[in-house]
Each structure stands twice: as C-alpha cells, then as structure tokens.
Amino acid sequence: MKKDRFVAGGIAGLIASVTCDIVGIIYKSLGWTDRTFNDYATIVLTNQIYSEKGIFGLILSMISHAAVCIIFGVVFAHLIMFTTSNYLYLKGLGYSLIIWLLLNTFGTLLNLPLFKNMPLNVAYSTLSTALIYGFMISLTLSIIDRKMNLL
C-alpha cells in the first residue's frame, strides 16, 4: 500500500474528532462543562454557537469540529516526518497541548465568545479533551503505521 501521510493524518484527525465529540458530550451531560469543542469550532469559524439550535445545528458544529481536527491531524502527520516515530504518544500529547494553548490564546486575544472569562472547570475539561485528541491521533497513526510503514 502506498504511503500517504495526508490521508493518514486526515483519518487520524477524524477519529480523534469523533472521540473528542463523544467525550465532550459526556462531560456536558455530567455537568462538568457548559460547552464542547464543537462550540469552539463554530465560534472560531462563524462566531456563532450552532449546537444549541437543534439537531441540524449540532450536525453543523460536529462537521466544523471534524474539519478543524482533520486539518490538525494532517499537520501532525507531516510534522512527524521531520522527527522519528519514537515517543509518538508524547509528541501527540505535546502537539495537542500546543494547539490548546494557541487556540485559547488567540480566542482570548480576538475577544471571541466562550474564550473570555473561561471558568476553571471548562478550562480543565477542554485541556483533558485536547490531550485525548493528541493521544488519539498518535494511536491512530501508530495503527496505520503498522499496516503501511508510514512513520
């Protein structure tokens, strides 16, 4: 099978996105947070929260989140090209931590809703979900690597 980092990164990003959506919904249903990454994705892309507008709004917010995660997955798959696949899980966690820091920083600097005056419980839930994203892209790329010798 031909090595294709673009597709592998996209698949890893999509799987990580779905995982984060599930975790976010669980966190929200348990009352640990009042927002999910879907909400952040639609705020960044459209400056609106669509997930509160019924099933079609939730679908649009999940598609927005998946698109952002796929792009980040492709970038991660290509960044690994410049290093080795050693410590892939730590690299994935570090990558997701950097994304979390940058998105929160720019969201705050640009005065986007949901980023201003973020409560502590929300900050922890987004951090943990971001780390789950990093773990999942690493895990998925590792599985793909076993089949394709990608990394």
pLDDT tens digit at each of 151 positions of the chain:
457 888 999 999 999 999 999 999 899 999 999 888 888 888 878 878 877 788 888 888 889 899 999 999 999 999 988 887 789 999 999 999 999 999 889 888 888 888 888 899 999 999 999 999 999 999 999 999 888 876 6
Q: Among residues 34, 51, 52, 47, which one has the least CA distance to residue 110?
A: 47
- Residue 117 has a pLDDT of 84
DSSP codes of every residue in 30-74 = TTS-S--HHHHHHHHHHSS--TTS-HHHHHHHHHHHHHHHHHHHH
Which domain covers residue 134, as residue numbers? Answer: 5-148
Question: What distance in Å separates the CA atoms of residue 96 and residue 127, rounded to the nearest whole number?
Answer: 9
The residue among 1, 149, 7 whose CA lies nearest residue 77 is: 7
- Residue 1: the pLDDT is 42
Count of structural domains, the chain: 1
pLDDT at 83: 85
How many other CB atoms sit within 10 Å of the CB of residue 57? Answer: 16
What pLDDT is attached to residue 150?
Answer: 67
Q: What confidence score (pLDDT) does residue 84 get?
A: 79
